Amino acid sequence: MFNTTLCYLENHRGEYLMLHRVKKQHDVNQDKWIGVGGKFEGDESPDECLLREVREETGLILTRYRFRGVVTFLTDGGWEGEYMYLFTASQWEGTLDPDCVEGDLVWVPKDQVPLLPIWEGDKIFLDLLAREHPAFLLTLEYAGDRLIRAVLDGRPLRVGEEDFQA
């Protein structure tokens, strides 16, 4: 299990900055749309990793961000498990650098994000963000690309339906 951060930057037009992962070889997120973030380095704390990763991937320096929850990813062996610290950000300094080595950065209306090719479990935490759910613990278990189990704050969610329900 390794530690990562993921951040959804939200602008005043109600859009999230999304990263279309199309530039790296052997990327578990290949062709998916995700927020920005990445793996911890050395003894970084979650917020130190967040600030570094956002700056590296976007050129922006976050000045207002909020911790939203921890997402635990479990897998059948297709890739290593992960603890992901999830954040949103509403203020930053600098100019967006369009040359991200991970993929293409695009501002997308929040209501359009679930229509993009995203991980099935991302729809769960994006809905929690939209509903201003308090900080949460979410476990997502995958078999390959298919979500097979989801647990929110200790309560199983029904998987395999259009909408996940507690």
Residue 164 in domain:
no
Residue 30 in domain:
yes
Residue 95 in domain:
yes
Q: Which residues of 48-82 are buried (b: 16+ CB within 10 A; e: fewer)?
A: ebbbbbbbebbbbebeebeebbbbebebeeeeeeb
Question: Among candidates 71, 50, 68, 45, which has minimal Cα distance to 60?
Answer: 50
* Domain at 148, CATH number: 3.90.79.10
Res. 11: pLDDT tops 90: yes
Beta bridge partners of 62: 92
Residue 165 in domain:
no
Beta bridge partners of 5: 38, 85
Into how many domains does the chain fold?
A: 1
pLDDT digits (tens, 9 = 90+) for 70-110: 999 998 866 788 999 999 999 999 999 988 888 899 999 99
Range of the domain at 113: 2-157
Residue 148 in domain:
yes
Structure tokens at 165: 């329900």
Q: Are 6 and 39 in contact (CB under 8 A)?
A: no
Backbone angles phi, psi at 129, to 5 degrees: -65, -45
Res. 163: pLDDT tops 90: no
Residue 103 in domain:
yes
Q: Are 15 and 108 in contact (CB under 8 A)?
A: yes
The model's pTM is 0.92
Res. 160: pLDDT tops 90: no
- In whole numbers, what is the pLDDT of the chain averaged over residues? 91
Lowest-confidence region among 25-34, 100-109, 143-152: 25-34
Measure the CA–CA gap between 166 and 155, rounded to whole angstroms.
7
DSSP 106-141: EEEEGGGGGGSS--TTHHHHHHHHHTTPPSEEEEEE
Residue 162 in domain:
no
Q: Which helix (H) or strand (E) holds 52?
A: helix 46-58
